Structure 1
Amino acid sequence: MRKLVVVLVVFVTVGAWAQEERPEMVPAMTEIWDPEVPVITPGESPMDAPSDAIVLLNSEKPFGYEWTNGNGEEPGWDFENGVATVKRGTGIIKTKRSFKDFQLHVEWRTPVEVVGESQGRGNSGVFLQGIYEVQVLDNFNNRTYRNGQAGSVYKQHAPLVNACKGPGEWQTYDIIYTAPRFNADGSYFTHPRVTVIHNGVLVQNNVIVRGPTEYIGIPEYTVKPHGDGPIILQDHGNPVSYRNIWIREL
């Protein structure tokens, strides 16, 4: 009984001391000043590149300055006044630089003349790190499978809504991408995550990408650990055009 009393006395004494010594909270205790947040200059509009962006495609840079074909040679697409257009049979184009986490702005246009239907109409794609595809497609009055239409993470996530403009009109993708990290055994420690804003409308909300884009098969079965990767634009046989592409590394 005596030991119990001693323990209680010590506990009460320590508790009282702790309460007496605790400083009173003031606003400054939760204010963090350093390091200072970097200052950048935003673009004049949301479509214009901010000062910390890497401009990948515009009318001021030669096409081959930032882009190459799949073999590391000059890109084979048509290029005029800052607009790159798929030239059928010439294959993909990809950035010479590689990226990890980023904010990507892409403007794209499907042909004015409507040819084909479903996946055969204005088909292309933006591949993040060269592996994970955000679908480009003319889905204006053109139905296809929901996880393969414009704004989808191809064959994985359908867009929340169809925000497509008509054929021949310029459209925008603003993509926020977080690259995967890997375990020692090559499996995902954290999966890739993608947010897509299509023509100002949220269509993918920080979705988890299951694995590399596959036309046939299950993405999880083909996961391979990888580092930084390029942005790839797809040649799917349709003359889709691109302009004003810029990226911010995060």
Structure 2
Amino acid sequence: MMKILRLIYLFLGICCINYSCLAQVEAPTTPPEESPMPMKPEMTEIWEPQVEKITPGKKPGDAPSDAIILFEGDHLDQWVSQNDSTKTVPWAIKDGYFEVVPGTGGIQTKMKFGDLQIHIEWSAPDKVENSGQGRGNSGLFLQNRYELQILDSYNNRSYSNGQAASIYKDTPPLVNAMRSPDQWNVYDVIYTAPRFRNGKLDQKARITVLHNGVVVQNNTTIQGLTYYIGLHNYPEAHGEDVIALQDHGTKVQFRNIWVRRL
């Protein structure tokens, strides 16, 4: 009996040894993970092409060296009549600024633009006359289609998407940053033109506006052509076009206008 038990224990011991060896042979081995190449500072540095150098204006509002000057005080050679583009501007040039002559029609640039940065300074007449939309009313039209409203909105209530710095009949400004009529207002505008693909709208126009240094339109989507009546839309594809200033039947003064292509 003891002999039989010893044989059984021996058999079981041999089986355990064989199983252990088999398990060691068949166990899958996982190769060690390769460490990624360590990042170096120069791997995220862009050296070429070099950034173009320009000379900024000496003081805020001055044109940088790459700007196209549209008005700097003594002539309107960059502009023509909107009623007849073969004729010179019918508005009045005065001491360092020019003024709308009501009833003569708007004016437009000779050059055409798409994406741009534009700086323009404007003022309503010192003498306050009328109210609402009848007070110091004009408009800055980008690509001759999309209006950034110019209006004396200093203590002058009107519909919010028609006051100064609104995208007219589209989006009101975030705040009313108007100065009094005896002071100059400043618009600094960054405009991205709409994109079209195969004749159809791909991306709507967008605009950022600083009014007297205050952000009043923050990358705002322009919903379409400026209409006095009806919803705005993009009825047709177009490319670069002129910048225009509106004659809305009231006097408005302008000075220091420059633009940069973007």
Q: Same fold (TM over 0.5)?
A: yes
State the secondary structure of the residue aligned to 2:133: helix
CA contact (8 A) 1:105 1:175 kept: yes
Counterpart code for 1:231: I
Q: Which has the larger radius of gyration?
A: 2
State the secondary structure of the residue aligned to 2:161: helix
Counterpart code for 1:29: M
Distance 1:32 1:107 in 2: 37
Counterpart code for 1:147: N
Structure 1 portions without partners, runs of 5+: 1-5
Measure how far apart 1:46 and its partner are.
1.9
User: What is the 5 A alignment of 1:94-133?
Assistant: 94-133=108-147
Structure 2 portions without partners, runs of 5+: 1-25
Q: Once the two structures are superposed, what CA deviation does each residue of 1:197-219 show, in whole Å capped at 9, x if it has no partner?
A: 00011100000001010000111
Measure how far apart 1:117 and its partner are.
0.7
Answer yes or no: is 1:193 the counterpart of 2:214.
no
Distance 2:157 2:73 in 1: 34
Match of 1:165 in 2: 179
Measure how far apart 1:223 and its partner are.
2.4
State the secondary structure of the residue aligned to 1:96: strand
Measure how far apart 1:83 and its partner are.
1.1
Tell me the C-alpha RMSD between the 2 structures. 1.6
Answer yes or no: is 1:217 the counterpart of 2:230.
yes
Distance 1:242 1:67 in 2: 13
Answer yes or no: is 1:156 the counterpart of 2:186.
no
State the secondary structure of the residue aligned to 2:112: coil
Distance 1:59 1:33 in 2: 41
Answer yes or no: is 1:234 the counterpart of 2:235.
no
Match of 1:3 in 2: none
User: What is the 5 A alignment of 1:46-125?
Assistant: 46-59=60-73, 62-63=75-76, 65-70=77-82, 71-72=84-85, 73-125=87-139
Counterpart code for 1:79: I
**Normalising by structure 1, what TM-score?**
0.90
Answer yes or no: is 1:248 the counterpart of 2:233.
no
Counterpart code for 1:227: G
Measure how far apart 1:80 and its partner are.
2.3
Q: Once the two structures are superposed, what CA deviation does each residue of 1:17-38 show, in whole Å capped at 9, x if it has no partner?
A: xx25x42211111111110111
Match of 2:42 in 1: 28
Distance 2:201 2:136 in 1: 33
User: What is the 5 A alignment of 1:7-26?
Assistant: 13=31, 16=33, 19-20=34-35, 22-26=36-40
Q: Once the two structures are superposed, what CA deviation does each residue of 1:118-160 show, in whole Å capped at 9, x if it has no partner?
A: 0011100100111100000001110000000000000110000
CA contact (8 A) 1:57 1:82 kept: no
State the secondary structure of the residue aligned to 1:176: strand
Distance 1:105 1:214 in 2: 24
Counterpart code for 1:146: S
CA contact (8 A) 1:102 1:248 kept: yes
How many residue pairs get aligned? The number is 234
Distance 1:175 1:209 in 2: 13
State the secondary structure of the residue aligned to 1:97: strand
Measure how far apart 1:171 and its partner are.
0.6
Measure how far apart 1:168 and its partner are.
2.7
Q: Once the two structures are superposed, what CA deviation does each residue of 1:74-124 show, in whole Å capped at 9, x if it has no partner?
A: 010001233110001110110000011111000001011111110011100
Counterpart code for 2:47: W
State the secondary structure of the residue aligned to 1:147: helix
